[in-house]
Structures are given as structure tokens and as C-alpha cells.
Amino acid sequence: MSFIPPFTLGSIERTTARAGGVLFILWLLTGLCYGFNPADLEKVKNTNRCEECDLTGADMAGSVMNDVRLANAKIAGAKMAGADLSSGDLSGADLSGADLSRADLSYTNLWHARLPKANLSGGRLIGARLQGADLSGANLAAADLSGANLSGATWTDGKKCLEGSTGSCKTGASESEKRPPKERGLPRTHLIPPPQ
């Protein structure tokens, strides 16, 4: 058996302790950078506003937050099923993959909000401002979009909604409709005016 001087064992213990401390600090920083900030959630609960805050993955299901101000906030993957966010400001917010099923977003400002793959099924979006919003891959089954402004929004299928799209996304003529009638299999006779 070889002899290990005592100072070497102490050095190993100090090095292990330092490494553990460094790993703990890195773990804390990772939580602050990649998860929601509990202080931001508390701020929303107390003041109903938190522009540019991080609520990524936060559980706010069933919350009553009408008139909430969350412009440019990170709310990706948040659980907000059944929440009341009516008349709020979520403009520019990142709601990617958020669960907003059955949520009330009536008259909410969602201008340029990012909602790809968000679950908005059964939601109320009556009169919502969705101009320029990204709804690609979002679930809008049974959602009420009455009076919602969708001008310039990216629809669930990735197509842009035309200006004046209200209540539904109007994407213009399909590629087959743009082709001449004969290429679409229609007789050309319907284009010739009757003899006079």
C-alpha cells in the first residue's frame, strides 16, 4: 500500500467542494436563464403587469388576469388553460407551445405575438387583435374568432392572411384558381359572351 501525504487528501476534498459549488451555481444560473422567474410570476399576480418578463413554462391555468400587460414577455410552454386574459396586452409575446385551451382572449392585443403550436382550442378570441401574429401549427379547433383581426397573420397552415381578414383567415386564390380555366379542366365556353 502506498503512502498518500495528508495534504493531498485535503486538496482533493477542497477541489471536490469547489467543483460542487461551481456546479450548484451553474444549475442556479441555468434555471434563471431557461425557466420562468418566480419573481416575475409574483409580479404578475400582484400588479397584473410584467412587460418583457420570463414566464416560460409557468402554470397560470384558470387565472383571472383580465387587462394584464405582458407585452414582449416570454410565455412559451406556459399552462394557461381556462385563464381570463380578456382585454390584455400580449403584443410581441412569445406564446410558442402554450396551452391556452378554453382561455378568454377576447379583445386582447396579440399584435405580432408568436403562437406557433399553441393550443387555443375552445378559446374565445372575440375581437382579438392578431395582426402579424404567428399561428403556424396552432390548434384553433372550436375557437371563437368572431371579429378578430387576422390581417398579416401567419395562419395555422403557414400561409399569410390577407389585409381585411376578420373572423377568419383569407389567403387569396389558390394556385389552381390562378391557372387558366382550360388547365383547371373547365370548358372555355363559359368565358365567351353569348351572341347578340
- Mean pLDDT, residues 130-154 taken together: 98
Computed on alpha carbons and rounded to an integer, the radius of gyration of the chain in Å comes to 27
- For the record, the C-alpha cell of 196 comes out as 347578340
Which domains are delineated in the chain? 1-34 (no CATH), 39-170 (2.160.20.80)
Is residue 137 within 8 A of residue 154, CB to CB? The reply is: no
pLDDT at 40 over 50: yes
Is residue 35 within 8 A of residue 57, CB to CB? The reply is: yes
Is residue 135 within 8 A of residue 152, CB to CB? The reply is: no
- Mean pLDDT, residues 61-77 taken together: 97
What pLDDT score does 26 carry?
A: 43
What pLDDT score does 172 carry?
A: 79
- Record the pTM: 0.73
